[in-house]
Amino acid sequence: MFIPAYNCEKQIGRVLAQVEAEWCQSVVGRVIVVNNRSTDRTGEVVADHIRARGDNYVQLLLNNENYGLGGSHKVAFQYAVQEGYDWLVVLHGDDQGSVADFRSVLLQRDSLREDAVLGSRFMSGSQTPGYSRFRIFGNHLFNLLYSLCVFRPIRDLGAGLNLYRVSSLKDKSFQNYPDNLTFNCVMVCAQAISGDQLLFEPISWREDDQISNVKMVRQSIQTLKIALSALFQRRSFLKRDHRSKAVNNYGWQVIDV
């Protein structure tokens, strides 16, 4: 399991409490918290949790630089491939989602034929307490637009609860995906264009004491451009560099606590 974490000292403890559930420990071999150079006590909270456990079920990774949310995904993808894991579940460290929503999926993962199971905040059965009607409407519009552009039904562009088959990541040029919050937008387009088998599952998603990093207008423009690129530049979409600046190596260090 991969937990991206940046300046979420108030929430990360609650997220780690989720993965302590007995059923979760029975299906998750290791939890890696990727600290994206937080400037608060996020790293210390995770380290305290690890020391209290006294084992390596939870491991703390520190990015060599602040790579952004997308860059932290790249670190986790590399880690999962190198360590030979079959599946990688993503759960954001700001405690907006609940891994329990994927309980049945994770317990039956060996029978899955899909390459990815993606959480959706905007389909029947999902719950979004704290979300404004305007934001929900906007997300539905973008989901429809992306569905039209990639010729596949897209139910969410980037919820923080997803499951990926690691073997399906090996043939993806994910190093060239954006390092910012639009990483998942490019990722889902690449999956659709590549013909990956995708399953969307309804999840609950809430806003309590989290701090949003989304700059609405700029992100909306970037999201629109990605959809149009997937439609009109389909042949080159998979191999082109979608980043604003090149990073030669997404490195990390394992923090020994």
Number of domains in the chain: 1
pLDDT in tens, 137-170: 999 999 999 999 999 999 999 999 999 999 999 9
C-beta separation of 30 from 59 below 8 A = yes
- Confidence class for position 214, pLDDT limits 50, 70, 90: low
What does the longest C-alpha to C-alpha distance in the chain come to?
A: 53
Length of the chain: 257
H or E stretch at 75:
helix 68-83
pLDDT in tens, 181-210: 999 999 999 999 999 999 999 999 988 765
Mean per-residue pLDDT, 92-115: 96
The CATH number that applies at residue 95 is 3.90.550.10
Whether the per-residue pLDDT at 213 is higher than 70: the answer is no
Q: How far is CA 194 from CA 13, 33, 220, 235, 240, in A?
A: 37, 29, 24, 10, 14
**pLDDT number for residue 215:** 73
Rounded Cα gap, residues 250 and 233, in angstroms: 27
pLDDT in tens, 106-132: 999 999 999 999 999 999 999 998 888
Residue 93's domain comprises 2-254
Q: Where are the extended beta strands (E) located within 75-211? A: 87-91, 116-120, 161-165, 198-202
Whether the per-residue pLDDT at 68 is higher than 80: the answer is yes
Rg, the chain, Cα only: 17
Whether the per-residue pLDDT at 220 is higher than 80: the answer is yes
